[in-house]
Amino acid sequence: MSKFASNRREFFSALIGGAAGLSLTYRAFGQNPPAPIKATKLSDSLAVMMGDGGNIGVVISPDGLMMIDGGYPERAADLAKAIGEQVDAHKVNLLFDTHWHFDHVGSNESLGRAGVKIMAQENVKKRLSVRTTMEANGRTFDPLKPEGLPTQEFAKGGKLTYGKEKIEYVHIPLAHTDGDTYLFFPGPNVLHTGDMLFNGMYPVIDYSTGGWVGGMAAAAEAMHKVGDAKTRIIPGHGPMGTKDDLKASHEMLAAVTQRLEKLIKEGKSVDEAVAAAPTKDFDEKFGRGIFKPDAWTKIAYASVVRHNQKS
């Protein structure tokens, strides 16, 4: 048997075995039937997979693959198959979680069971270790099985070399959650933002685990300084982006934060804030995605109130 075939079989069987034992508390909220998972090559050693929960980065080296996020748990086997067929059939050696959300950590248990190292910011492990509620979508998630938990945690970030890629990873506190990390690849000039960017739509803000709209504005501003004008961006959700997309997102988030802070200071209720339409001038550009303007205003409002209570 060729090395290729043996690697490929090992890779699929580890993932398919894992998918069968998934916790039933995780359910995809995506389309039915689910979208096909499609790879786009960004360089000879970097690809992005779209169509399975959050966007997934794949770093290719002669020794194996690094995955950045892992989609939905119920699609872990589909994702593994798509990577094997469309990108490279080597084994995964390293998984990096950009944050704790279920549509990003869906390969943790299957890959962890196969002995794959899992890196994440320390709050990601904290959230994945316990039953965690996400009020923004009204759902509660059971802890991951121990084998799905990160095995290598960091506080602020660092640098790592995978194959020929030199990767910088940086934690930004209290943005979309309390454990978000972006990854920058200076070689191909690509920035993977995790869910600190929803490209072209109002973002999920997980205020139950430390996220808030002002923090997402600050994150967009910080990430805008990474790389240069030509940096290509893998957002957490939505199509590939540019620095202009990041700038537009920052302007929207900063303006809405400022307006909501003013309304809250004036004692306006959430319904009064919705009636004031603080997102109005941005709705055409951002209001056609996951959230309609009113629903998102409520989430952003709640995130400011929650943040103010803590600080």
Residues near Zn ion (CB under 5 A) are: 101, 195
SS (H, E, C) 152-195: EEECCEEEEEECCEEEEEEEECCCCCCCEEEEEECCCCEEECHH
Maximum CA extent, the chain: 71
The residue (of 8 and 101) whose beta carbon lies closer to Zn ion is 101
Rounded to an integer, what distance in angstroms lies between the CA atom of residue 188 and that of residue 194? 18
For 7-50, the DSSP string reads: HHHHHHHHHHHHHHT--TT----S-SSPPPPEEEEEETTEEEEE
- Is residue 184 a contact partner of residue 171, using CB atoms and an 8 Å limit? no
Residue of 119, 80, 71 lying closest to 96 (CA atoms): 119
Closest contact distance (angstroms) between CB of 180 and Zn ion is 8
The residue (of 177 and 231) whose beta carbon lies closer to Zn ion is 177
Residue of 99, 48, 47, 73 lying closest to 206 (CA atoms): 99
Rounded to an integer, what distance in angstroms lies between the CA atom of residue 273 and that of residue 94? 44
Closest contact distance (angstroms) between CB of 254 and Zn ion is 20
The residue (of 101 and 125) whose beta carbon lies closer to Zn ion is 101
Closest contact distance (angstroms) between CB of 9 and Zn ion is 32
Closest contact distance (angstroms) between CB of 197 and Zn ion is 11
The residue (of 90 and 101) whose beta carbon lies closer to Zn ion is 101
The residue (of 105 and 114) whose beta carbon lies closer to Zn ion is 105
Closest contact distance (angstroms) between CB of 99 and Zn ion is 6
Closest contact distance (angstroms) between CB of 104 and Zn ion is 6
Among the residues of the chain, which ranges form H helices?
Answer: 3-20, 76-86, 108-113, 122-128, 213-224, 243-265, 270-275, 283-286, 293-310
The residue (of 84 and 203) whose beta carbon lies closer to Zn ion is 203
Closest contact distance (angstroms) between CB of 224 and Zn ion is 20
The residue (of 88 and 195) whose beta carbon lies closer to Zn ion is 195
Residue of 236, 35, 310, 22 lying closest to 141 (CA atoms): 22
